Amino acid sequence: MSDSHQHQGHGHHAGEGHKDGICDCIPSWYVDHLGQAGMPYVKIEDYAVPPEESHGSLFLPDRLAKGYHVEELRGGVYWVSAGWYDCMFVSTGNGVIVVDAPPSLGERLLDAIAEVTDEPVTHMIYSHWHADHIGAASMFGPDIIRVAHEKTRELLQRFPDPDRPVPTVTFSKDMTLEVNGFKLELSYKGQNHSEGNIFIYAPEQKVLVAIDILAPGWVAFKDCDSSENISGWIEAHDQILEYDFDFIICGHVSRYGTREDVLTAKEYTDDIIRFSYEALHTVELEHFVKDMGEGPYRAAFRAAEENFFAALTNYVTQKMLEVKTSNGQLWQERLNGADVMTKNNAYTMLQKIRLEKSHNGYMKRDGAPEGFFL
């Protein structure tokens, strides 16, 4: 990143240091003078060194050499990772079933399959409609069977993408896909991270695929994994634990997980929920609006609102970074990214509690209940 860090926060404008169109200092796209209107930049030393277990396959020799890692979990079920993404395929003895095809793996997924079997890909399952997990689906050609939830088909018909062909087989609640005697149980339990996001389970091998709910060894990615329905996302942790599984593929971080990882993720999520409710009942909006009489009302209100949400978010984040977790460690010692992304997860949880959970009553004729805000 050149020497741009030394200019951080000094009001330099992007484009300075250009000579004859060649950037020798700050790239033209680098904006660092927005102050409170922009996003802050960070430095490596702002954050803890992550726990080593969270590295997954990242530094394995075969991955460094080939650009991907493929590993048989059990009985013909393979886990593949590359480019920070994970997916699965199954060798049935008479055709391969692929579960997701992230564009960051792309054609390296074809190499990974060819490395372990000569069988052709006959089926593909879409976990959900997001391009970052199935954006290479078209590389299997037009003739395979594509299975997904009916919501996924609806979304891909509504927002067509040649790289994500519309599924040929859909279901609404549960479906068993059986190919050459190999069974995969597909289940939709309602909207969570996205509409149509399904669980894919190999019961005999005890392998579960549940994408974008949690990340083994990591905190949930920013904003509770960009989830659409936080109540459904929270519930999904329990739905995962209802399965009898030894391996779980979660879609990210170049790692598969175990039951233990899910329990840890659930504990982290439960802590955020607990501290969010505590914050909503502790932080006082009045503290920030009481001086609004002076100055332009709209600006004062905006500032009060921003500070109120900042206070809520910082309250939760501080509690999360201080709490002793069930094994005696701090979250930032236990999960990669806790000191980076907890603030984003806290902010989203706070906002979604406001939207999805009735938690502080409603306006009465004789005035607002204690702690009331919209």
CA dist list (Å): 103 to 63, 128, 137, 206: 17, 14, 8, 27
Q: What share of the chain is helix, strand, coil (3-state, %, to 5)?
A: 35, 20, 45
Nearest to Zn ion of 132, 267 (CB atom): 132
* Nearest CA among 205, 190, 192 for reference residue 99: 205
Rounded Cα gap, residues 19 and 61, in angstroms: 41
Name the minimum Å distance from CB 48 to Zn ion: 27
Nearest to Zn ion of 92, 254 (CB atom): 254
Q: Give me the numbers of helices (H) and strands (E) for the chain, helices first please.
A: 11, 15
Name the minimum Å distance from CB 128 to Zn ion: 6
Nearest to Zn ion of 129, 245 (CB atom): 129
Nearest to Zn ion of 87, 280 (CB atom): 87
* Nearest CA among 116, 125, 122, 126 for reference residue 94: 122
Name the minimum Å distance from CB 102 to Zn ion: 10
Nearest to Zn ion of 95, 167 (CB atom): 167
Handedness of CA 303, 306, 309, 315 (dihedral sign): negative
Name the minimum Å distance from CB 4 to Zn ion: 31
Rounded Cα gap, residues 80 and 105, in angstroms: 9
Task: Name the site residues for Zn ion (rule: CB under 5 A).
Answer: 130, 212
CB atoms near residue 340 (< 10 Å): 17
CB atoms near residue 66 (< 10 Å): 15
Name the minimum Å distance from CB 255 to Zn ion: 17
Name the minimum Å distance from CB 193 to Zn ion: 5
Nearest to Zn ion of 212, 339 (CB atom): 212
Name the minimum Å distance from CB 233 to Zn ion: 11
Residue least distant from Zn ion (Cβ): 130
Nearest to Zn ion of 4, 226 (CB atom): 226
Long-range contacts of 37-42 (CB under 8 A, 24+ apart): 41/5, 41/8, 42/340
